[in-house]
Every structure is written in structure tokens, then in C-alpha cells.
Amino acid sequence: MKKVFCTMFLVMFTIPVWADIAITATDLGDGVVAIDYNGTELARAFALDIKVDSGVITNISEFAVGDDNSGYGIFPANFSRYINVLETGEADNWLDPNYTPVADANDPGALGGIDTNGITIEMGSLYDTNAPPLAGRLCTVTCSQSCKLSVTTNAIRGNVVLEDANEAIVDLTCATDVQVTIGKTYTGTHPDEWVAVGKPACWLSSVNPRQCHGDADGAAQGSQNFWVSTNDFEILIEAWNKPLSSLTGNQICADFDHLPQGTQNVRVSTNDLDILIANWNQANSPAADCP
């Protein structure tokens, strides 16, 4: 329930008392991730690295552009490249499509950029009266495939700076190893548990429609097509009575009831074994009807 926990945590407590700014990353579906901030102090500028562990980041959107707009529309890395300043001191216009928060890969300390596995964004505020709010959205990014996304501060580009020019203490708990899923939706009975264990693809009926019946590997065995057999049992044994933090590979696929058990909240135990036994070595069975 990491996503749910992070949301409740921010609502109930704003941010941890030791942090000035919390950065969160929220999976919005179809590969789109919202990058939001929430602070007890007002930030002047953000320099953040956003990375994915597989695939690439294909797009950035939903960011403010320009000055005096109650947002972070000043992009230091690209300002001199794309913004023309008039003799009056005002920008000619903010309409150049290349003017985005993404720093060029050749800038010191910057990541590869769009269509690579990491981008560096720089966003600042400049206003007369319309200061940005203490909480809001910096941008959304789009990922090319299912992955885990993490946000970190970029020290070379300036980290996160407060209005008083001090460096902010930043909480990245809810922006670290955030699971991003594309084109797949969990329709089972325990959606919060699916999120809690990292949104495993094997729980999805579109990927393995027999997983809830004891089919851990998504494959039939033998000439009679035993969908629940020795390979599934081996995965269950490997995962037996382990906490979530100890599961590796496809061991979470043996959590057939999608629920923790016992005081230690182990993911694979007697309830899952009962499901496997009920469907053991049945020809052309069980039915592919997991929700």
C-alpha cells in the first residue's frame, strides 16, 4: 500500500517534521507519472533527476511556463537558449516549444534527457505578486514501459533551494522506486494489496488468468496441460513464509490469495498452499477466469 500510505501521510501530516519539501511521484496510469511537491517552506527552485530502471522517459508535460504565473515556469538550463529578453527586462514570449524544464545532456551534471532512462529538470519561480503555492504539481513524465521510477535531487545543478536561498531538506520517500504500469490494470478483489507488493504483472488476469487458482508461472505442464503442478509448487516453497522484503524474482506470484498472513504478514503461506492443492494436477484446469 505504498501509494496509499504516501497519500495518507501527506494529507494527515503535510510532510515529515524534519523536511522542508517533500517530492512525490504518483503513477497516473498508461505510463504517466505525476511529480508533485509539498512544503512547509516555499521553494524558489528545483533541480531534480528523474530516472527509470527500464525503458526510457518519452515526454514531459503539465509544467508551468513563464513568470508571475503562480508556478515554477523559469527553467534556468534553457532560459538563455530559448528566451529573448527585451530592453524592458521582460521576455519577448514564452512560446518556444524547446523551452522545457529538461536540461540538455551536455550541461554539467545533467542526465541523458528525453528518450533516455533519465532526465534532469530545473524549475524556478519569478513573480511580482503570484507566488507559487506551498504544494502543487511540477510536471508529469511519460515512461515507455512498465518500470520503477525514482526522483533524486541534483547537487551539481543546485538541489532544491528555498526562498531565503538556503538549501531545502527534501523528503523523497514517496518518490523512490515508484512502480509504473502500462496497459495493464489489476481487476482483482485486493487492489490495495497489488499496490503494496509492487504491482506484480503476474497478478493481472490479462497476464496470467489462472494465477489466483495456484498457477505461479503462467505455464501448463505435461501432455495433459496441468496448469497447477510441480513448477508452481517449487515457486511456492521458495517463497514460503517470507516477508515481502525477502521475496525475489517471481516468488510473489505464489501469493495466490493476494493477502498477507499471520502476525508477520508473510505473503505465501497455508492459504496459498490450500489453493494450489485444490487445483493440483487437474487436466486442462483450472479455468482461466481470475478477476
What are the start-end ranges of the H helices in the chain? 2-13, 76-82, 191-196, 230-239, 270-278
Q: What is residue 7's three-state secondary structure? A: helix
Q: Is the pTM of this model over 0.85?
A: no
Q: Work out the average pLDDT over 102-114.
A: 96
3 has a pLDDT exceeding 80: no
**Alpha carbon of 49 to those of 141, 160, 177, 206, 220: distances in Å?**
12, 11, 13, 33, 43
| DSSP for residue 120 | E
| DSSP for residue 253 | G
C-alpha 192/C-alpha 176 separation (Å) is: 18
C-alpha 183/C-alpha 30 separation (Å) is: 6
* Residue 164 CB-half CA count within 13 A: 4
Please give the mean pLDDT across all residues of the chain: 90
Q: Are 124 and 74 in contact (CB under 8 A)?
A: yes
Residue 45 burial (C-beta neighbours within 10 Å; 0-12, 13-18, 19+) = buried
Q: Work out the average pLDDT over 216-230.
A: 94
The residue that leads in pLDDT, 27 or 52, is 52
- 18 band by pLDDT with thresholds 50, 70 and 90: low
**Confidence (pLDDT) at 180:** 86
Domain boundary assignment for the chain: 2-180, 191-278
C-alpha cell at 60: 514531459
Q: What is residue 54's three-state secondary structure? A: coil
Residue that is written with C-alpha cell 483450472 in the block: 286
Q: Which amino acid, 94?
A: W
C-alpha 101/C-alpha 261 separation (Å) is: 46
Q: Work out the average pLDDT over 145-174.
A: 94
In this structure, which CATH number among 3.40.449.10, 3.40.50.1370, 3.30.1310.10, 2.60.40.680 belongs to the domain 2-180?
Answer: 2.60.40.680
List pLDDT tens digits, range 261-287: 999 999 999 999 999 999 999 999 999
User: For the CA atoms of the chain, what is the radius of gyration?
Assistant: 23
Q: Which of 240, 254, 263, 244 is nearest to 195 (CA)?
A: 244
